[in-house]
A and B are shown apart, each in its own frame.
Chain A
Amino acid sequence: MSVSSPIVSIDPLLCTGCRRCAEVCPVDAIVGTLHQPQSIDTERCVMCGQCVLRCSAFASPFDETISDIPAIRKERGLPEDDSSTLFAAHFRVDKGSVSSMLEDTDKISMVQCAPAVRSSIAEEFGLAPGTLTPGQLAAALRRLGFDLVYDTIFAADVTIMEEASELLERLESGENLPMFTSCCPGWVRYMETAWDDQLSHLSSCKSPQQMAGALFKSYGAEIAGKQPEQIASVAVMPCTAKKFEAGRPEMQADSVPDVDAVLTVTELADMLKRKGIQLTSLQEEEFDAPLGLYSGAGTIFGASGGVMEAALRTAIAVTTGKEVDESGVTFTKTEEGISRATINVAGKTVRAVIVSGLAHAAKLLEDVRAGKADFDFMEVMCCTGGCVAGGGQPKLLPHVDLQDAIQRRRESLHVHDKALPVRASHRNPSVTALYENYLEKPLGHRSHTLLHTTYGEAAGGHE
C-alpha cells in the first residue's frame, strides 16, 4: 500500500454532493457546492473519518452513471473478488498489506487492539451495539494468524504512568501548563494544523498505539528473541487518523516504524469473514502476556473522560498512597462538549477539563493562547463520545440511532472496567514488570527514547 495515498478521501464518481459529511466534519474541511462532488481540504483535515461514517452515497448496482465499479475497487486497492459496498467517502484500506505480513514467515507478527474495538466489532457480526467481546476478539486475531495477540490497553496503562508523571512534573515546575493529552491523533493533528503556536502544551507522550508499537519492537522483540525489523506490528483501531499517526516519521526508530499497519474495526471484521472466522461463535481466549495484560483504567481510554479518570486513579495513589478503584471525581458539564472538575492532587489544586468533540476545543484554546486559561489539564478526544464513536468503527445503517449505539459502547467499556481484577494502571503487574525489567522509571531514559516524541514537524503522509 502506497504511503502517499490519502487516509481519507471522497470519490467524485460516487459523491452526489449532499454535503451531509460537512455537517459532521469538526474542522470544516469538506469543500464543495451542493449537488456537486465534494473534496477534502487536506490542510485542515484531521483524518477523523466522521465523513466516512456519515456518507450514504454508495455505488448502487442500478445507477448507470456509476459504470466502472471494478476500476474503483482497483483504485482503492481492494481485491477483485471484494464485494463490499463502495461509498463516496472512504478511508485507505490496509488489509492487503496486513495479509502480506501474516504470510511472511520470516517475521513474527504482533497485534494490538484499542479498547473500543472490543465493544463494537460484534456489530459487524450482527449483534447489538455495544456487545462486549474481548475474549472472542483475542481468539479471532489468533485464528487470523497473529503470533502474539497483545493489547493497546496495556500501553494505555503505560501511558498513564508516563503522562501522570509528566503532569506532576509540569505542575511542580509550572512550565507548559495547561497540559493537553496526546492520545488522540485527530486532536494532535488539529493542534498542528490550526494551533501550531500552542504545541508545547501537548503531552510529549506518544499515543497508546505508538507506545505499544515501540514496545513490541524493543521489549517485545527482546522477549521473543528477535530483532526489531523481524517484527510485523499491526494495530486494530476504531480510528482512521491512527493510520496517519502510524505513518508519521516521528513514530519510528532507526527507520523501523513502531506500527507497520493499522486496520479499522470494519477492515478486521471483513478479513475475519473472508477467512470464515465467525467471531461471535468462538470460545473466549486470553490476550498474550506480558504486553496484552491490562487494567480497567486503560480500558476506559476508549470513552471520553476515560483518560482523565485513569490518570486520576493513579495520581491519587501516587500522591496520597491511597489505592482507589475509582477516583470518585465527578465532572460537571459546563457547556456542550466540555466538562470540568477541580481536584486536589499532592496538596495542589488541579483544574481539569474534558473535551468531547474537536469542535468544542477552539474556545478553550483561544483562552490558552491569550494566557487566560482557567485550567491545568485537558483531555481532548476528537470524536464526540470518544473512540467508541471513531471513524473506523462499524458504519451504522441510516435508521440506527447513532447516539444510542455510542452510549452502549461506552457503557460496555465501563462494565468491562468494573469486572477486571486490576483497575488502576500502576497496579497492572505487567506494567510494573516492564518498569522493573526494562524502562526503570517513568520519564526515564528508555521511556524518553521509546515512548515520548515531539509534535509539529511537517509530518507529511496526507497527500
Chain B
Amino acid sequence: MPHRLNPFILATASKCIGCRACELACAAAHIEGGVSVGSLQAPLSPRLYLTCVGEMRVPVGCRHCEDAPCAAVCPNAAIYRTDRGVQVDESRCVGCKTCIVTCPVGAMEMGQIWENGKPVMRRVANDNSPEGSEMEPALLASKCDLCKDRAGGPACVEACPEQALALIYPDAIKRRRNIQAALALKGTGARAGEVL
C-alpha cells in the first residue's frame, strides 16, 4: 500500500537502555564488511544518535519531515523527497552544513563517506603544499536513509535488544487510531430523541 506520509524510525525512550547497539548496527549497515566489527572496512559513522539526558537514554534520528527543512535550504539540491523518505545525494553535497543548522531534531551530521574501501576525498587550499592544495577526507551530509538498500529493513530496528525501535508509518497509525476510536464510540452517543 502506498503511504501518503513518510515513514520514520520511532524510539520509545521508556524502553531504551542506552546500549548503542542501534548506532553500531546503523553504522555497520552503511559500510562494506561481513559479520564482525573487525571485518568492517571503514570507520563507524552512525546515522542516529544515542542521547543521554539525566537518566533518560534514547536515540534520536531523522523524522523524514514532510516539508523537510534540510531539503528546502540545501543550496545544491542534494537533499530530496522520495516515496521512501527524505534522502541525501552525497555526490551533490558540498558540506555547507546549512541542513545541520536547520534540522529541528539534530538528525543531520557531516560524516566521511567511503567508497571501494577508501574515503571520498576533497581538495582544500594549503599554501604550504607545492600544488597549493591537498586532499583530505570529505565530510558530507549524512543522515538516516531508512536503510533503503537493506533487504532486512532498518538495521537499528533489528539490532535493538529491547525492541525500543520501530519503523512506523504515521498514516497507518492514524487510520488504526481512527478505527479504535470509532469502535470505542460505538456504545456511546445520544439517547433516543436527545439533541447534543
A405 with B35: CB separation less than 8 A: yes
CB contact under 8 A between A395 and B20, given known A60-B46, A62-B109? no
Checking B18, B32, B36 against A124 with a beta-carbon cut-off of 8 angstroms, the contacting residue is: B36
Distance of B13 from chain A, by nearest CB (Å): 12
A20 in the interface, Cβ–Cβ < 8 Å?
yes
The residues in A between 6 and 62 inclusive whose CB is less than 8 angstroms from any CB of B are 16-20, 34-35, 56-58, 60-62
A399 with B45: CB separation less than 8 A: no
A397 to B32 Cα, complex, angstroms = 13
Q: Which of A126-134, A175-183, A221-229, A315-323 contacts B (4 or more CB under 8 A)?
A: A126-134
B33 in the interface, Cβ–Cβ < 8 Å?
yes
**Using Cβ atoms and an 8 Å threshold, which residues of chain A touch B49?**
60, 62-63
A19 with B17: CB separation less than 8 A: yes
A20 to B164 Cα, complex, angstroms = 15
Which residue in chain B gives the minimum CB-CB distance to A56? Answer: B21
Main secondary structure of the interface of B (DSSP, over half): mixed
Distance of B187 from chain A, by nearest CB (Å): 43
A125 in the interface, Cβ–Cβ < 8 Å?
yes
| A391-409 vs B, Cβ < 8 Å mask (1 yes, 0 no) | 0001111111000010000
Checking B19, B37, B50 against A394 with a beta-carbon cut-off of 8 angstroms, the contacting residue is: B37
**Using Cβ atoms and an 8 Å threshold, which residues of chain B touch A18?**
17-20, 57
Bin the interface of chain B by size: 35 or more
B44 with A61: CB separation less than 8 A: yes
**Using Cβ atoms and an 8 Å threshold, which residues of chain B touch A125?**
34, 39
Which residue in chain A gives the minimum CB-CB distance to B33? Answer: A126
The residues in A between 59 and 113 inclusive whose CB is less than 8 angstroms from any CB of B are 60-63, 65, 83-85
Which residues does A use to contact B, with CB under 8 Å?
16-20, 34-35, 56-58, 60-63, 65, 83-85, 123-129, 266, 269-270, 394-400, 405
18 contacts between A and B (CB under 8 A): A16-B18, A18-B18, A56-B19, A60-B44, A60-B49, A62-B45, A63-B49, A123-B35, A123-B38, A126-B33, A126-B39, A394-B37, A397-B25, A397-B28, A398-B24, A398-B25, A398-B161, A399-B159
